[in-house]
Structure 1
Amino acid sequence: MRQIFSRQHTWLLMLAVAMMLSACGFKMRGPVSLPFHSIYVALPEASPLGAELRRQIHANGQTQVMESADGAEVIMDVLQESREKQILSLNSQGRVREYTLLYNFTFRLRNAQGKEYLEPVKMQLKRTLTFNEAVVLAKESEEATLYHDMQIDLVQQIMRRLAVVKVGD
């Protein structure tokens, strides 16, 4: 009798959780739908950020990434892209114990005639990197991984901003 009572409570609890999730508007993130048909991204072909951004735009299946600004419905101008490494803390001997990694990115969205659809947007991502002189190579690899993760996060943020742009005459 005890086991049946427990199963009933488990099913009721699972049903209640499912109802609460559906009632709150929870929805898994799917592909981002962009409100324009073609875009030119003013980042070099060799740029890892540019390659990832182009791949994400192409993956939505509705927007074409143009090779030049000619003929593109919108143009994404990159005003700043920089990486910084700042000392966050020192140990008692004055050696670095932690760094702050910064990824700064600023862009705007406009058409070929210069009409801005999105004023300059500044984004800054931060990560903390602990440092140990005994494992310098491992920490360099960790730093590269953190910058790569920031780049992926930045691309997702850019895609969400592009998705809400109002394009029109």
Structure 2
Amino acid sequence: MINPRRSFVLGLAALSAGCGFQLRRAPELRFKTIYLSGFKPHSPLAEELRRQIASTTTTRVVEVPAQAEVVFDGQTDKRGKGVVVTTAAGEVREIQLRLHLQFRLHTLAGKELIPSTAIALTRDMTYNERDALGKEQEEEMLYRAMQSDIANQVLRRLAAVRSL
């Protein structure tokens, strides 16, 4: 006797394999080594970039610029927060989180591969003084998501570099 649930799962697997579905993979970069410069020590954005570059099968981050084929120069890496909405009594009701990265990519010889480029993200977040601790955690979670998004965008731009 054939199990209908098992047949359904096998059929679904066959259909998804036949349609060309693939899980998203890290992009393949054209260079084997990269050096990250210009970031503050223990920068969360630099750590996220390092992690995502390490997930590629083609490229590794080196600690010495002389060992790198290309240099990723993080010119600006800053977080910001501002009040968007207040009540008539002056209580904050909504804040905006900002994350900004400006960078360029060049070879050791100085050939510019990606000119100075800026990526800026903003997220709005409701705020209530009674829930201050929970909102702090939500803020950190949003910053981590924004860092991940910026790192993904950077990786796609690095993958677009065709030649050194």
Q: TM-score, normalised by structure 1?
A: 0.80
The superposition leaves residues 55-105 of structure 1 with CA deviations (integer Å, 9 ceiling, x where unpaired) of 211111211211111121100001101111011111121211101100010
Measure, in 1, the Cα distance between the counterparts of 2:76 and 2:29.
23
Give the 5 Å matches for 1:46-57. 46-57=42-53
Structure 1 residues not aligned, in runs of 5+: 1-13
Determine which of 145, 148, 169 is the counterpart of 2:144: 148
Amino acid at match of 1:91: T
Amino acid at match of 1:39: I
Give the 5 Å matches for 1:76-155. 76-155=72-151
Determine which of 40, 43, 52 is the counterpart of 2:35: 40
Amino acid at match of 1:140: E
**Cα drift, residue 44 of structure 1:** 4.7
Measure, in 2, the Cα distance between the counterparts of 1:152 and 1:123.
12
Measure, in 2, the Cα distance between the counterparts of 1:26 and 1:45.
40
Structure 1 or 2, whichever has the larger Rg, is: 1
Contact 2:45/2:77 (CA < 8 Å) preserved in 1?
no
Q: Flag as ranges the 4+ runs of structure 1 deviating above 3 A.
A: 25-28
Measure, in 2, the Cα distance between the counterparts of 1:27 and 1:110.
32
Structure 2 residues not aligned, in runs of 5+: 1-11
Contact 1:45/1:51 (CA < 8 Å) preserved in 2?
no
For residue 160 of structure 1, what is the aligned residue in structure 2?
A: 156
